[in-house]
Amino acid sequence: MTIGMRQIRWTLAAVVALAPLPVVSAHIHPPRPEITVYKSPTCGCCTKWVEHLRKHGFKVKTHDTEDMEAVKVSLGIPAELESCHTAVVGKYRIEGHVPAADIDRLLSRKPKIAGLAVPGMPSGSPGMENGRSDRFDVIAFAPGRKSSVFAKH
């Protein structure tokens, strides 16, 4: 009986000693750089996409502008990949409704591209949730190179 009590005391002591240790989750994201989003002041889906980014831990700075075409041209967004909003994160350009997980992957892998784009406004993409989910691709682009599929959704 005495051995059993000793085992219980040692077990309790170990539990108490380990209790203050923080629990680390595999889903904790490393600190992310700020994303600057250029959008129309009246665009609801752009606002929803910004909310999607914030929900996934991004710090977002927004700039409302009526001249999105000038923003896209100045940032080198290919016309065939355009959508409604444009963002900059680090050295990368993000065009349209790119999922936060793909931005995370971009930032962790650091490929030699200019950015990512989701052309148009596909239903079911972040910010375009409307009960229907169309398949869409996230496109990697770079000046002077052929665009390629970065992710399929």
What domains appear along the chain, each with residue ranges and CATH number?
Answer: 31-152 (3.40.30.10)
Length of the chain: 153
Render pLDDT for 11-57 as a digit per residue (tens, 0 to 9).
545 444 544 544 444 455 566 789 999 999 999 999 999 999 999 99
Q: How far apart are CA 136 and CA 96, in angstroms?
A: 12
Q: How far apart are CA 94 and CA 132, in angstroms?
A: 23
What mean pLDDT is predicted for residues 126-146?
94
The mean pLDDT of the chain is 87
Q: According to the model, what pLDDT value does residue 32 have?
A: 76
